[in-house]
């Protein structure tokens, strides 16, 4: 029985790859950006919280078992949401990455969903500590989350302009440290592409970009394929995600996502988040990974 199930899964993935190849055959050579050179394709990781190893070095063991290129590392867990600020914790992460031959893709400050930048003064200090940690880890991107308590929309789903004003002012104070450290901060939120651009323009720093989550934006009703093209180089990294089903069976058309990425010349990291686990954690994420690799290969 196990052999039959695996064969069916492999057939599904192979079929998806064939379709993707036909669909992408003409668009892979469209972009003239230096990012799309033959030696520079896509790297696919997963968030450590998606691997159910939030803030722990064990995430790298799970990532290796699945076959992922990297891990998006949370700044900590429920016991210590900013464990990453300690050298001991960073050393453990680096050791786990080396031992499992899995990269640190980026860092994610999901803690901001509970301790929001818009209302918690300590959040500003934590982001600065996160920047220093990224520099020590030689990580170039740190995600700033604006969900839950940190949502930039009010209860009526209208833009909370007062909250945005606070965020802008606090980011203005933070960004010189990010620029000096060579770390890009990626805003991940329910804002539209236009609203993201407005926020970035107000802060006015080359180190502030958009961390684009295709599923979150889709659920907001945005045209994600147009938004990717509209944002272009303002996108620093992606969450590839489908909250409905295994990838290729849900709401997100990843072939169209790839076409949009080609049009803006994006190559680099994408992290699996929000996956469903009908086959169990390891097999489900491996299924999603194999599907994505047919569309987003390591070399283009």
Domain count, the chain: 1
Confirm whether 91 is domain-assigned. yes
| For residues 15-40, average pLDDT | 41
Confirm whether 34 is domain-assigned. no
* C-alpha 16: how far from chain center: 23
Contacts of 158 (CB under 8 A, 6+ apart): none
Structural domain for 150, as ranges: 40-295
Confirm whether 105 is domain-assigned. yes
Return the pLDDT at 22.
40
- Kindly report the average pLDDT of the chain as a whole number: 90
* C-alpha 289: how far from chain center: 14
Return the pLDDT at 39.
52
Confirm whether 21 is domain-assigned. no
Taking only the tens place, the pLDDT of each residue in 247-273 is: 999 999 999 999 999 999 999 999 999
Q: How far apart are CA 7 and CA 278, in angstroms?
A: 17
Return the pLDDT at 32.
28
pLDDT at 119 over 50: yes
Confirm whether 126 is domain-assigned. yes
| For residues 140-158, average pLDDT | 96
Confidence of residue 23 (pLDDT cuts 50, 70, 90): very low
| DSSP class per residue in 49-72 | TTTT-TT-TTHHHHHHHHT-SEEE
**Which conformational region is residue 268 in: left (phi greater than 0), alpha (psi within -120 to 50 degrees), or beta?**
left
Q: Which CATH number is 153's domain given?
A: 3.20.20.150
Q: How far apart are CA 85 and CA 90, in angstroms?
A: 7
pLDDT at 6 over 60: no
| For residues 105-124, average pLDDT | 97
Predicted structure pTM score: 0.88
Confirm whether 1 is domain-assigned. no
For the chain, what percent of residues have pLDDT higher than 70?
A: 87
Taking only the tens place, the pLDDT of each residue in 40-97 is: 899 999 999 999 999 999 999 999 999 999 999 999 998 999 999 999 999 999 999 9
Confirm whether 13 is domain-assigned. no
Burial of residue 93 (number of CB atoms within 10 Å: 0-12, 13-18, 19+): buried
Q: Which of 27-36, 145-154, 241-250, 269-278 has the weakest average pLDDT?
A: 27-36
* Residue showing tokens 């998806």: 16
Confirm whether 23 is domain-assigned. no
Taking only the tens place, the pLDDT of each residue in 29-44 is: 333 233 333 358 999 9
Taking only the tens place, the pLDDT of each residue in 191-236 is: 999 999 999 999 999 999 999 999 999 999 999 999 999 999 999 9
Burial of residue 226 (number of CB atoms within 10 Å: 0-12, 13-18, 19+): exposed
Return the pLDDT at 38.
34
């Amino acid at each position: 029985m196990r052999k039959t199930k695996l064969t069916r899964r492999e057939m599904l993935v192979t079929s998806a790859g064939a379709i993707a190849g036909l669909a992408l055959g003409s668009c892979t050579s469209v972009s003239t950006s230096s990012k799309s050179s033959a030696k520079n394709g896509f790297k696919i990781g997963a968030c450590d919280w998606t691997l159910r190893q939030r803030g722990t070095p064990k995430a790298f063991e799970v990532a290796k078992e699945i076959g992922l290129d990297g891990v998006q590392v949370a700044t900590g867990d429920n016991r210590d949401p900013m464990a990453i600020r300690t050298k001991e914790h960073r050393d453990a992460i680096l050791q786990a990455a080396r031992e499992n031959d899995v990269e640190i893709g980026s860092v994610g400050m999901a803690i901001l969903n509970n301790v929001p930048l818009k209302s918690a003064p300590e959040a500003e200090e934590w982001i600065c500590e996160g920047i220093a940690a990224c520099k020590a880890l030689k990580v170039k991107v740190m995600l700033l989350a604006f969900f839950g308590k940190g949502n930039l929309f009010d209860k009526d789903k209208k833009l909370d302009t007062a909250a945005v004003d606070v965020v802008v002012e606090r980011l203005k104070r933070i960004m010189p440290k990010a620029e000096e450290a060579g770390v890009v901060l990626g805003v991940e939120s329910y804002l539209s592409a236009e609203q993201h651009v407005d926020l970035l323009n107000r802060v006015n720093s080359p180190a502030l970009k958009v961390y684009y989550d295709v599923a979150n934006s889709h659920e907001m009703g945005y045209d994600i394929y147009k938004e990717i093209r509209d944002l272009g180089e303002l996108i620093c990294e992606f969450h590839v995600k489908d909250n409905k089903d295994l990838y290729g069976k849900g709401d997100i058309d990843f072939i169209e996502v790839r076409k949009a990425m080609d049009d803006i010349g994006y190559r680099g990291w994408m992290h699996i988040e929000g996956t469903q686990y009908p086959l169990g954690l390891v097999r489900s994420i491996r299924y999603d990974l194999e599907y994505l690799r047919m569309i987003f290969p390591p070399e283009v």
